[in-house]
Amino acid sequence: MSKDSVTITDNRTGQSYELPIEHGTIRALDLRQIKATAEDFGLMTYDPGYMNTASCRSRITFIDGDKGILEYRGYPIDELAEHSSFLEVAYLLWAGELPTSDELERWTHGVRYHTMIHESIKKFLDGFRHDAHPMGMLVSTVAALATFYPEAKNIQDPETRKIQFYRLISKMPTLAAFAYRHSVGMPFVYPDNNLGYAENFLNMMFHGREPVGSLNPNSHHSPILARALDVLFILHADHEQNCSTSSMRMVSSAFTDPYTSVAAAAAALYGPLHGGANEAVLRMLREIGDVKHIPEFIAGVKRGERKLMGFGHRVYKSYDPRAKVIKYWADRVFEVTGRNPLIDIALELERIALADDYFISRKLYPNVDFYSGIIYEAMGFPTDMFPVLFAIPRTAGWLTQWRESLEDPDQKIARPRQIYLGPGKRPFIPVDQRVPSDHVNGIV
Ligand code: CMC
């Protein structure tokens, strides 16, 4: 018997099965041979929320939640945040290696070359109500891009795939900024290809307009802010098989084009449990209002009345390494924008929570969202833009994961199984013989 295996005894039949273990997993399909009777379908696993199911093998992002480690292609996130740029990281994700200076030059030039969007896209944006949520506009216009680049359907061609990567990385900031400009009734600002990636985005967002809520109206011209935003983009570029990335893989497993698949991934990101938590942190900090209210707030959390937003993570059971980097950048941003007073409440909340047994025993630490909203707000981004700011860099991760899944011979169209618990077969009842039923979740 191989040591790298597990033996399962089916107590219904007394039969034992030896299943190979590879990379700490067994293949779910190996369970199918375990049958109570010859007609039996075979054993399946039940795993809502994919709590313990690896849906793919990946070589892109590594997370060790217990140790607080996050690496892209083996490079620690804090080193990338310190030494790299977002475009370099996007290249690293896609290509698997950091670019040489010549490769970086060509990649950066290519991204700049693709920043414009077709003029007709502006008409789409004009069709939205003035108060439309920018994320709704982003999701729709990314999907619409598929109709402008029909050749993108040719997903088996590596060259075509590469061009869509250039296009999407380049155009997401333009779409995002245009969505924002529409929501504030301001004329669109075209991309300026002389500017860096984050710098260009800030310019398209805020040119000719004081950033809403910014503590220092002219701060968006500061290179420190552009660098801080670039770092935030690095931190959000990928996070392995989270909800939006899994959506990307699932939708594109039907060979859907990358624009429509990215729209689906962005739709998943839109949800408050995924890309919307930093907004909830801001609401919470405002509600607390003053450091003197923190003990009372924490007591409510411990009584289970509410959650401390921005704390806890499904994977990280120690300090989220991204939160550490963001905390460092918060101070640098505030030197330019002025200090966002919410940071004092956040710091004190963190100090008290990290000394409290409720949080210690449950391994609840600040996650990426605890400080990011405070920085975005200080930079002048309205809270509606927070999920959009997440979607821009995550596009690099979504597309890299998409490409990896297409190149993986193990992958198939995603099609989970279910445990059917509904009624058994029964005859159709004519409408005049039906009686109202108490247990029906009616729609009338
Ligand atoms: N505040 C207070 N208690 C908490 C919190 C929190 N933020 N998070 C978890 N707990 C408690 C929870 O009540 C449970 O306690 P008990 O064992 O007494 O029932 C215990 O900790 C374990 O929590 P869980 O709900 O089983 O953990 P989970 O892995 O299902 O949830 C989470 C992870 C992120 C949804 C959750 O921690 C949470 O809701 N946090 C606040 C929202 C938030 O900040 N979300 C952003 C996540 S990071 C963004 C990203 O990477 O996409």
Q: Tens digits of per-residue pLDDT, 53-101?
A: 999 999 999 999 999 999 999 999 999 999 999 999 999 999 999 999 9
Query: Average per-residue pLDDT in the chain?
Result: 93
Confidence of residue 314 (pLDDT cuts 50, 70, 90): confident
> From the candidates 369, 408, 410, 432, which is the catalytic residue?
369
Query: Ligand 1 pocket: which of 246, 311, 350, 356 to mutate (most atoms <8 Å of CB)?
Result: 311
Nearest to 95 by CA among 198, 175, 169: 169
Q: In the prediction, which pLDDT does 212 show? A: 56
| Choice among 161-170, 313-322, 394-403 with the minimum mean pLDDT | 313-322
Residue whose Cα lies nearest atom 32 of ligand 1: it is 313
User: What 3-state class would DSSP assign to 435?
Assistant: coil
Query: Ligand 1 pocket: which of 273, 305, 313 to mutate (most atoms <8 Å of CB)?
Result: 313
Confidence of residue 280 (pLDDT cuts 50, 70, 90): confident
Rounded Cα–Cα distance for residues 421 and 274 (Å): 30
Q: In the prediction, which pLDDT does 211 show? A: 61
Cβ(221) to ligand 1 under 6 A? no
Query: Ligand 1 pocket: which of 362, 371, 372 to mutate (most atoms <8 Å of CB)?
Result: 362
Domain ranges of the chain: 5-45, 81-413
Q: Tens digits of per-residue pLDDT, 216-239?
A: 666 667 899 999 999 999 999 999
- For residue 127, pLDDT over 80 is answered with yes
- Cα of 351 to ligand 1 centre, how many Å? 18
| Catalytic residue status for 369 | yes
Q: Topology of domain 81-413, per CATH?
A: Citrate Synthase; domain 1 (1.10.580)
Q: In the prediction, which pLDDT does 208 show? A: 83
**314 Cα nearest atom in ligand 1:** 29
Cβ(313) to ligand 1 under 6 A? yes
Q: DSSP per residue over 405-434, as a string?
A: HHH-TT-----------S--------GGG-
Nearest to 25 by CA among 2, 48, 3, 52: 52
197-206 vs 86-95: helix crossing angle, rounded to 10? 120
- For residue 359, pLDDT over 60 is answered with yes
Mean pLDDT computed over 301-319? 91
Q: Tens digits of per-residue pLDDT, 35-48?
A: 999 999 999 999 99
Whether pTM exceeds 0.85: yes
86-95 vs 158-183: helix crossing angle, rounded to 10? 150
Cβ(404) to ligand 1 under 6 A? no
Confidence of residue 319 (pLDDT cuts 50, 70, 90): confident
Mean pLDDT computed over 287-297? 95
In 371-390, which positions are buried (b, 16+ CB within 10 angstroms) versus exposed (e)?
Answer: bbbbbbbbbbbbbbbbbbbb
Cβ(364) to ligand 1 under 6 A? yes
Q: Which residues make Cβ contacts (< 8 Å) with residue 263, sequence separation at least 6? A: 139, 140, 142, 143
Residue whose Cα lies nearest atom 34 of ligand 1: it is 313
Q: What are phi and psi of 9, to 5 degrees?
A: -105, 125
> From the candidates 207, 274, 356, 408, which is the catalytic residue?
274
Q: In the prediction, which pLDDT does 71 show? A: 98
Cβ(307) to ligand 1 under 6 A? yes
CA dist 34 to 302, 329, 395, Å?
45, 54, 41
